[in-house]
Amino acid sequence: MAEANAGFPTDAKRPLLREGVLHADLCVIGAGSGGLSVAAGAVQMGASVVLIEKHRMGGDCLNTGCVPSKALLAAAHAAQVVRSSGRFGVNGHEPAVEFAKVHAHVHGVIAAIAPHDSVERFEGLGVTVIRAAARFTGPQEVEAGDQRIRARRFIVATGSSAAVPPVPGLAETPYLTNESVFDLTDRPDHLLVLGGGPIGIEMAQAFRRLGAQVTVLERAGILPKDEPEAVAILRTVLRREGIVLHEGAQIAAVRRAANGVEVELGDGTRIAGSHLLVAAGRRPNLQGLGLEQAGIATTPRGITVDAGLRTTNRRVFAIGDVAGGPQFTHIAGYHAGIVIRNALFGLPAKVDYAALPWVTYADPELAHVGLTEAEARTAGHPVTILGQDLAGNDRAQAEAATEGLIKVVLGKGGRILGATIVAPRAGEMIGLWGLAIQKRLKIGAIACSLAPYPTMSEISKRAAGGFYTPTLFGSRTRRLVGLIQRFLP
C-alpha cells in the first residue's frame, strides 16, 4: 500500500499538455503497491507525476492478494479459537461458519482500505491518474487510451499474475486462483490446492479451519525455500488439523468430474474435489506493454534490471514483481524507495537483499530473514547454528502454543547471517533479526538486549545467549570465579 501522507492541500507540480502530449517528470505504469508508493512519494517531493492503471487501484495486494488473504485468515483463526478453546477449560465446540458473512468480512476489509489507494486520493495529492492500458510507442513515449505521455523517467510496476502450469486438461477445467477465490460466497466442500508454497499453504489452512475438506498437491515438498526443521513443525500442524498433503506429487491430468473436479496423479491415483485452487507460482505482467518498442529487455522471469532497478532503456525503471526478483509486497515498497532516490535525486541507490524477510501466515507463522543454513554453507561461511524450542518459552506455555522454534545462522565471529522463527506472530518478531543483519551486527547485540517478560520474543534473546553458554559456564570460567572469590573481601 502507498505510505505517503494525505488529506491536506497540495501545491504539487502538474504535468503539462503541449501539442497533444502530456509531459511529466515521472510516468508510473501500474497502481499496485510499488507504483502507488513511487507516485505518492514523488509528487510530494515536487515532481510532476502521471499514474496509469488499466484495472483496479491498489493492484493485487489490495484486491486479490495480501489484504483479502489476511482477512480470510483472520476469520479462520476466529473459528479455530472456538474449536480449540476446550484446552483452556472453556466450552470449545465446532463453530457454525456462515461463509457468506466471511465473504462480506473479506470484502469489507478491502473496502475500508480502498480509499487510501483511490484515484480521488492520488489526484488530491497532485498526481494525474489515467485509467487505461499503457503501451510504449518508443523509447521516450507511452500511449494510454487516447493520451500520449512523455516523461523524464518511466517506472513499470505492473506486478504479476497467477501462473497456470501446463497440466493436461487444466485449461478445460474450472479452477480458482487468488484472483477469484475471494469471490466465493459458498464454502467449498473439498478444496484441492495445486501448489504447496506460501499462498497454497495459507489458503489450505484457512479453508480447512472454515470447515472445508482440503487436499494439497505439491510436486516437491511444501515451502521448499524455508528451513526444513521449521517446515516440519508446520507440516505436523497441518496434518493434525485434517489437511491431506501429497508431497512429491506428479500431476498427470485434471478434468471435470460430476459436480466438481478430479486430479489424476502420475501413479494413477485419482483425487476428487468440489473446487480446484491453482497456487503454483506467479508470472510477470508483461503483455501489451510494447516493451520491445522502448528497447526494454525481458526474460520469462520479468524485465531485466540492474542493481539500481534500471532497465536496458536508461529512462525506464522496473519495480516489484515485474522486475523478476523476490515477489513480495514489501519488496515493491522497498523498490519504490530505491527508484525515487535514483530517478529524482540521481543517487546511486542499489538493491540489497541480504536482510530480505518473508512470512508464511499460517498458524503458527513461519518467518525468515537472511540466509538459510544451506545457503550460508553454500556461500562458504563458517556456520554456527543457534536454536531454541518454543516449548521453553513461558508465554508460549501460558497460551498453550508451544509448537515452534527459532533457528539462527551465524558466520565468522558470531555475525548474524539469517534467522527463522516458527511461532504465533512470528512475522512481528523477525524484524529484530532483519535489522541485525542489515546493520551487520554480531550475536552479542541480541544477547545483551532486554526483552520484556513474559513474551514470545524472549526466544530471540535466549537463542542468542546460547552462543556464550559453552564459555560462560565452562571449566575456565568456574576456575576464574573460584580464584576471584578467594580474594574478595
* pLDDT value at 3 more than 70: no
| Residue 145 known to bind ligand | no
Q: Domain boundaries in the chain?
A: 16-57+118-162+283-345, 170-280, 357-471
Nearest to 349 by CA among 333, 340, 338: 338
281 CB-near residues (< 8 Å, 6+ apart): 162, 163, 165, 195, 197
CATH node for 357-471: 3.30.390.30
C-alpha separations of 336 from 7, 103, 167, 320, 355 in Å? 21, 32, 36, 8, 17
* pLDDT value at 86 more than 60: yes
CB atoms within 10 A of CB 456: 25
| Residue 160 known to bind ligand | yes
- According to the model, what pLDDT value does residue 354 have? 95
pLDDT digit string (tens) for 267-305? 999 999 999 999 999 999 999 999 999 999 999 999 999
Residue 249 C-alpha cell reads as: 506429487
- According to the model, what pLDDT value does residue 7 have? 43
Tell me which CATH homologous superfamily contains domain 16-57+118-162+283-345: FAD/NAD(P)-binding domain (3.50.50.60)
Pairwise CA distance, residues 185 & 187, whole Å: 7
| Residue 420 known to bind ligand | no
pLDDT band at 4 (very low <50, low <70, confident <90, very high): very low
| Residue 199 known to bind ligand | yes
CATH node for 170-280: 3.50.50.60
* pLDDT value at 11 more than 90: no
pLDDT digit string (tens) for 378-395? 999 999 999 999 999 999
Domains 16-57+118-162+283-345 and 170-280 share a fold: yes
pLDDT digit string (tens) for 401-435? 999 999 999 999 999 999 999 999 999 999 999 99
| Residue 158 known to bind ligand | yes
| Residue 295 known to bind ligand | no
| Residue 108 known to bind ligand | no
| Residue 70 known to bind ligand | yes
pLDDT band at 10 (very low <50, low <70, confident <90, very high): low
- According to the model, what pLDDT value does residue 474 have? 79
* pLDDT value at 236 more than 80: yes
Looking at per-residue pLDDT, the higher value among 181 and 472 belongs to 181
| Residue 69 known to bind ligand | no
